[in-house]
Amino acid sequence: MKAPQDVFTEYLANENLKMTPQRRLILDTMLKQEGHLSSEELYVYVKKRDSSIGQATVYRTLKLLSDSGLVEPLDFADGVTRYEPSYGKDHHDHLICERCGKNIEILDDTIERRQEELAAEHGFTLLKHKMYLYGICADCRK
């Protein structure tokens, strides 16, 4: 599997876009973080490494990373778009504790298959789906 940095560089070249130190740094920072980062959060980390980088560049780069398939936007419906590295990772959905915010990655073949079937039954070609389960985790229920 290609390194993410190479994937990004190739994507940029393909689109007649350019690799820059900013883009390299933002991708690197994104990949080093675990879990789900908002643009704002990523911006904070990025600024620690290069305080001259502007917030707009982070927004713009995240869009590129998303278009190139390296990260995936998540939508927990709190008004903030978060991203997670997705390159080389299996698809998964999310199980979220409404009390403590705990966020567990889940995957279920039965559901995935039924989603395909359901779409087909309605004449749709399925492109993607979003599934979020919200509940209270065991710790919070104690």
Partner DNA sequence: TTTCGTGCAAACTATTTGCATATCA
Partner DNA sequence: TGATATGCAAATAGTTTGCACGAAA
Whose Cβ is closer to a copy of itself: residue 17's or residue 95's? 95
CB of 34 to DNA, least distance (A): 19
Burial 42-76 (b: 16+ CB within 10 A, else e): bbebbeeeeeebeeebbeebbebbeebebbbbbeb
> Rule CB under 8 A: which of 19-78 touch a copy of itself?
75, 77
* Interaction partner, residue 97 (a copy of itself, DNA, none; CB < 5-8 Å by kind): a copy of itself
CB of 5 to a copy of itself, least distance (A): 28
* Interaction partner, residue 14 (a copy of itself, DNA, none; CB < 5-8 Å by kind): none
Residue type, 15: E
Burial 23-32 (b: 16+ CB within 10 A, else e): bebbbebbbe
Give the integer Cα–Cα distance in Å for 59 and 66. Answer: 11
Q: Is 132 in the site for a copy of itself (CB under 8 A)?
A: yes
> Rule CB under 7 A: which of 17-76 touch DNA?
17-23, 38-40, 50, 52-57, 59-61, 63
Q: Is 2 in the site for a copy of itself (CB under 8 A)?
A: no
| CA 28 to mean position of chain CA atoms | 14
> Rule CB under 8 A: which of 93-112 touch a copy of itself?
95, 97-98, 104, 106, 108, 110-111
Strand order in the sheet with 81-85: 37-38, 81-85, 71-75
Q: Where on the chain is the footprint of DNA (CB under 7 A)?
A: 12, 16-23, 38-40, 50, 52-57, 59-61, 63, 79-81
